[in-house]
Amino acid sequence: MFSSVAKRWGPGQRAHSDRAAVSTDMPLIQGIRVLVLVLVLVTVPLSRRQPGAASDGAIVVVSLASFTAAWIVWSLAQSRFRLMTAALAVMGATGGVLAGVSSLSPAVAAGCVVTSFAGVRLSTWGSFAITAETVAAFVITGVATGAPSGALIGYSALFVGLWAFGLTRRAYVLRAEEAEHALEQTRRALDAETEAAAVAERARIAREIHDVLAHSLAAVSVNLQAAEGLLGEIDGESPELAKAIECVARAGVFTREGMAETRRAITALRDNVPASPRTPAPLADQLAGLAAQYRADGDTEVEFGVSGMPRPLAAGPGLAVYRTVQEALTNARKHAPGQPVRLCLEFRPDEISVEISNLLPATGAAGPLADAGAGYGLTGLRERAALAGGTLTAGPASGQWQVCLTIPG
């Protein structure tokens, strides 16, 4: 126990402020404090004094009044260090006097409370000063009133022992606080390391997108432009040739749009650019554009409808809906070419729902693009919906293939 005191007198003591506070305001401890105060107030006036100390009644009254007032201030000033320390010093002096006058009563509990609390809450030298004050007041008063020598020695040792116990408790709590602080620093370092790893992974993905997709799209765009030029030089006015030129031109437009979206994705991955708070255009207009584009590409009927009161959306939910419709229309062209598509957008009070449905193709009538792609389109849409707090379902129902997304917004 005293080795802890010696350590606190060493150079390491400077690392802790004299105002370092250790929480001792648990309800149980507060209840014990009140119980000790009531015990002292009730028993000390009724206790038997030392022989020959019949004239110390006034000392007891003044000491009790001073001790009680200081106790109240001490209890109310736990967050005000200077006032709390001053009240504790008054309690130490008056508590020592009370114990010296009535060494055979529970008045000694006052000194026990003061010395143990000083060891817990104050610095080593501050608590030592208050403990020395308490012991000195007790010994001087006890000698003056003729207290037994055994009581003087025993109670003095008790005060010092409780002070040492308080120091040990303080050292333990400070070590726990340091360990908690170190743990928090470790957590912050781990978070920083995780964030750095995420940034590095985003940069790696951006490089892969740039090296694979952007380069491929650029090469496709160049070849499409060359094909369009060659087709334009062919003589003839056949409808098939005009249609081929139109398809090549439209494919070039799609490729350039894909390259633009790829550049935006790479910029967002590398620079961690936050999404804009609002979508660039109303969601209904974006979906109407997708439906018109789908009609122009495949000459397939697309029924588009909007219900509810349209409203602006945050970028996350709006993009999730847009990508879902885009993927569903692409899947309809791949797996059920020529089948009419129905697209419904519904604005509800707290959420948005979009449903895309098309007739299932006859057995063996799948389009030539049915096997194109890696097969992760719907999986990616479900993941996107989950990240935005929504749900996505996809599957056959009543002879149709239905994709339905419900998302808060």
Residues 287 and 155 in one domain: no
Percent with pLDDT over 90 in the chain: 8
Decide if 268 is inside a domain.
Answer: no
Going by pLDDT thresholds of 50, 70 and 90, the confidence category of residue 14 is very low
Alpha helices, H only, 44-123: 57-76, 81-101, 108-121
Residues 40 and 182 in one domain: yes
Partners of 352 in beta bridges: 347, 407
Tokens of 314: 């945050």
Residue 277: what pLDDT? Answer: 43
Going by pLDDT thresholds of 50, 70 and 90, the confidence category of residue 345 is very high
Decide if 347 is inside a domain.
Answer: yes
Residues 308 and 177 in one domain: no
Decide if 227 is inside a domain.
Answer: no
Residues 181 and 286 in one domain: no
CA angle 128, 131, 132 (to 5 degrees): 85
Closest Cα to residue 122, out of 86, 148, 93, 154? 86
Residues 54 and 174 in one domain: yes
Q: Residue 373 pLDDT > 60, yes or no?
A: no
Decide if 49 is inside a domain.
Answer: yes
Number of domains the chain contains:
2
Decide if 15 is inside a domain.
Answer: yes
CATH code of 331's domain: 3.30.565.10
* Structure-token match 């029924």, residue found: 303
CA distance 116 to 136: 16
Question: Which of 147, 165, 187 is a domain's end point?
Answer: 187
Q: Which amino acid is at 311?
A: R
Question: Which of 138, 163, 187 is a domain's end point?
Answer: 187
Tokens of 191: 């978070």
Residue 406's H or E segment, with its range, is: strand 400-408
Q: What is the DSSP string of 333-350?
A: HHHSTT--EEEEEEE-SS
CA distance 86 to 395: 77
Strands 351-359, 391-397: parallel, antiparallel or unpaired by DSSP? Answer: unpaired
345 neighbors 283 (Cβ within 8 angstroms): yes
Partners of 132 in beta bridges: none
Decide if 145 is inside a domain.
Answer: yes
Residues 28 and 172 in one domain: yes
CA distance 386 to 316: 11
Question: Which of 131, 156, 187 is a domain's end point?
Answer: 187
- Residue 38: domain span: 2-187
State CA 71 to chain mean position distance: 41
Residues 177 and 281 in one domain: no
Residue 381: C-alpha distances to residues 87, 215, 267, 384, 390 (Å) = 68, 25, 22, 5, 11
CA distance 327 to 358: 13
Tokens of 381: 């849409």
Residues 326 and 180 in one domain: no
Residue range 172-216, pLDDT digits in tens: 888 888 899 999 999 999 988 888 888 788 777 777 776 667 667
- Give the contacts of 403 (CB within 8 A, at least 6 positions apart): 324, 328, 331, 355, 356, 357, 378, 381, 392, 393, 394
Q: Residue 348 pLDDT > 80, yes or no?
A: yes
Residue 376: what pLDDT? Answer: 67
Least confident of 3-7, 206-210, 311-315, 380-384: 3-7
Decide if 215 is inside a domain.
Answer: no
Who has greater pLDDT, 390 or 148? 390
Tokens of 42: 């009730």
Residues 13 and 138 in one domain: yes
Residue range 269-319, pLDDT digits in tens: 666 544 444 445 788 888 888 888 877 766 578 889 999 888 888 777 888
Residue range 121-137, pLDDT digits in tens: 888 888 888 889 888 88
395 neighbors 373 (Cβ within 8 angstroms): no
Tokens of 317: 């939910």
Decide if 301 is inside a domain.
Answer: yes
- Give the contacts of 312 (CB within 8 A, at least 6 positions apart): 278, 279, 282
Helix, strand, coil in percent for the chain, rounding step 5? 65, 10, 25
Alpha helices, H only, 336-396: 377-387
Q: Residue 344 pLDDT > 90, yes or no?
A: yes
Residues 182 and 282 in one domain: no
Alpha carbons within 13 angstroms on the beta-carbon side of residue 43 total 17
Residue 177: what pLDDT? Answer: 87
CA distance 58 to 9: 40
